[in-house]
Structure 1
Amino acid sequence: MSDPPGRPQPAAGGSDPAREESDPAAPENEDHVSEESDVRAPEPPPADDAEVAARRQAFAELLGEFRRTAVLVPLGDEPGPEEERGLLTADFNGIRFILAFSDEQALARYAQARGEFSREWTYRTILGARLLDVAVPAAGVPCGVALDCADGEDGMVFPPVMGIVPDEAAVDRDPDADVHEDRNLDANKDAGR
């Protein structure tokens, strides 16, 4: 069996240079960028555009299905607007998530995971679109929706980003664009006087 062409061969009685430990005085990696060198480390391969497009399409379909589906949203212990009980939420890394469940079994798995299976859970049935378009902006803080959060990989997270929640509630919106848009609206109002 022969070695692939182009690979350095060990000298007779020597060791394989590809497997030798590096000399601390020697450069660690030939791809290493030196201040004196114009050689750059290789760029990571670009993502397959077809794969990215397919994943975006799949997520758009999931989002559309969620928006059209009524989900169960437990009521939390904290008061919401108008002194009624608010929706059950959980905060993660500075973002609040409204907890929603696709059915009573998913809610039961969540209750079991919390050790609160015997507790009575009061919930509302709310259309996914209403959660994203109304409840998320009403939270007043960065907020998204976590669907079936006790189901691991079968759960879904809808983060507060443009394209999922209204732009004014998205954490990735450009606040400077909002200022420029407001100025343009003011200028148009002034011009119409």
Structure 2
Amino acid sequence: MSSGTDPGFAEEWRQLKERALARRAAMTPSDASETSGTSGTSSASGTSGTAVASPVSADVESPLEQARARLVAFRSRPVLVPLDDGDGLLTVPFGGLDWICAFTDEDALARFAHARDEAGREWTYRRVTGALLLDEVVPVAGFPCGVALDSAGPDPVMYPPLRGIVPDRVALDGGDIRPTGPLNI
């Protein structure tokens, strides 16, 4: 394929965009006002009015702020990282990139095991913080990778190896992607 895009990823991305557009189209005007960030204000004359949120504010800032808040919460949270058969961190390929699997709790790990038809096996895991994964493990992995949190759950999150998420030196959008040392967790 001349574009270099993984056809499976392109199809998944197309489906995600279609679902997002369908959700947006299904929103009622009251849904839109609840999520747009509009609020009442008080003017100097004492009358109240409604601030109108700009389209940029409603469509970009709110999701960006939500993403930042989730990243901050992930960095401070202990997560479970299952080990593979060779006692390395379990990674899965998706969209042309490898992802380190991480889970918020044993129930989330069990959903993942069930989704893989591996619910009967024993899962060995390490408990580490999200910050350790992003700041220390990803840089020494030896290959570009991100972190997939609760990938089989109702609210999965992907932390790609990009600036602002992982150290700049290993970010796909600005780094050199070379390991910086041994992996000891």
Q: Structure 2-normalised TM-score?
A: 0.63
Instruction: In structure 1, give the amino acid aligned to 2:130.
Output: G
For the residue of structure 1 that corresponds to 2:84, the secondary structure is strand
Give the alignment of 1:1-150 within 5 angstroms: 48-51=55-58, 52-78=60-86, 85-150=87-152
Larger Rg over CA atoms: 1
How many angstroms apart in 2 are the aligned matches of 1:48 and 1:55? Answer: 12
In structure 1, list runs of 5 or more residues that go unmatched: 1-46, 79-84, 176-193
Contact 2:146 2:160 (8 Å CA) reproduced: yes
Deviates more, 1:53-62 or 1:87-96: 87-96
Contact 2:169 2:175 (8 Å CA) reproduced: no
Change in 2 beyond 3 A, CA 1:167/1:174? closer
How many angstroms apart in 1 are the aligned matches of 2:98 and 2:146? Answer: 6
How many angstroms apart in 2 are the aligned matches of 1:111 and 1:135? Answer: 23
Partner of 1:159: 160
How many angstroms apart in 2 are the aligned matches of 1:76 and 1:157? Answer: 20
Q: Could you list the per-position Cα deviations for residues 128-172 of structure 1 after superposition, in whole angstroms to 9, with x for gaps in the alignment?
A: 0000001111111111000000115x1100011111111111111
Identity %: 51
How many angstroms apart in 2 are the aligned matches of 1:169 and 1:125? Answer: 23
1:169 aligns with 2:170: yes
Change in 2 beyond 3 A, CA 1:172/1:114? same
Q: Could you list the per-position Cα deviations for residues 11-52 of structure 1 after superposition, in whole angstroms to 9, with x for gaps in the alignment?
A: xxxxxxxxxxxxxxxxxxxxxxxxxxxxxxxxxxxx922021
Report the Cα offset of residue 174 of structure 1: 6.5
For the residue of structure 1 that corresponds to 2:85, the secondary structure is strand
Instruction: In structure 2, give the amino acid aligned to 1:50.
Output: S
Which consecutive aligned stretches of 4+ in structure 1 deviate over 3 angstroms post-superposition? Answer: none
In structure 2, list runs of 5 or more residues that go unmatched: 1-53, 177-185
Q: Structure 1-normalised TM-score?
A: 0.60
Partner of 1:29: none
- Name the Cα RMSD after superposition: 1.5
